[in-house]
């Protein structure tokens, strides 16, 4: 298996993710990149991308496994979040409607309580 084939399937890390995995600060990662002790490439959005194997080569004893979400997982999680957000919005609208109804009924009750009671002439 060629290295380019492996790189295509290996998720790369941002400096922040690499720092978390190595247990160091983001600045330590950036210093290593700037001094060219740590291999990193910029992606098409001009953000640093670090291969996990390059990070492990630079910090072999401290690198922890960090799970990086696959783009398909991210899309699935976003869809779930949108569904939960829609449900939360519906629940909030329902609560607001219930509060509006409660306030309306309370105003009606107060209005009726303020009116003089009607008495039939034969009831005294």
Query: pTM value?
Result: 0.43
Q: Which of 37, 58, 79 is the last residue of a domain?
A: 58
Span 38-72, pLDDT tens digits: 999 998 989 999 988 888 887 776 655 556 667 78
Span 30-41, pLDDT tens digits: 999 999 999 999
Residues 73 and 110 in one domain: yes
Residues 44 and 91 in one domain: no
Residues 42 and 85 in one domain: no
| pLDDT surpassing 70 at residue 26 | yes
Residues 29 and 75 in one domain: no
Residues 50 and 74 in one domain: no
**Mean pLDDT across the chain, nearest whole number?**
83
For the chain, give the DSSP string: --HHHHHHHSPPB-HHHHHHHHTS-HHHHHHHHHTTSS--EE-TTS-EEB-HHHHHHHSTTTPPP-PPPPHHHHHHHHHHHHHHHHHHHHHHHHHHHHHHHHHHHHHHHHHHHHSPPP--TT--
Which domain does 76 fall in, by range? 69-114
């Amino acid at each position: 298996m060629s290295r380019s084939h492996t790189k295509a399937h290996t998720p790369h890390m941002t400096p922040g993710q690499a720092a978390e995995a190595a247990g160091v600060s983001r600045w330590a990662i950036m210093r290593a990149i700037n001094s060219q002790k740590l291999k990193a490439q910029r992606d098409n959005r001009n953000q640093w991308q670090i291969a996990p194997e390059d990070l492990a080569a630079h910090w072999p004893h401290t690198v922890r496994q960090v799970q990086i979400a696959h783009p398909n997982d991210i899309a699935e999680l976003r869809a779930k979040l949108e569904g939960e957000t829609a449900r939360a919005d519906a629940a909030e609208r329902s609560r607001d409607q219930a509060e509006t109804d409660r306030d309306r009924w309370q105003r009606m009750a107060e209005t009726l309580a303020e009116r003089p009671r009607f008495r039939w002439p034969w009831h005294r």
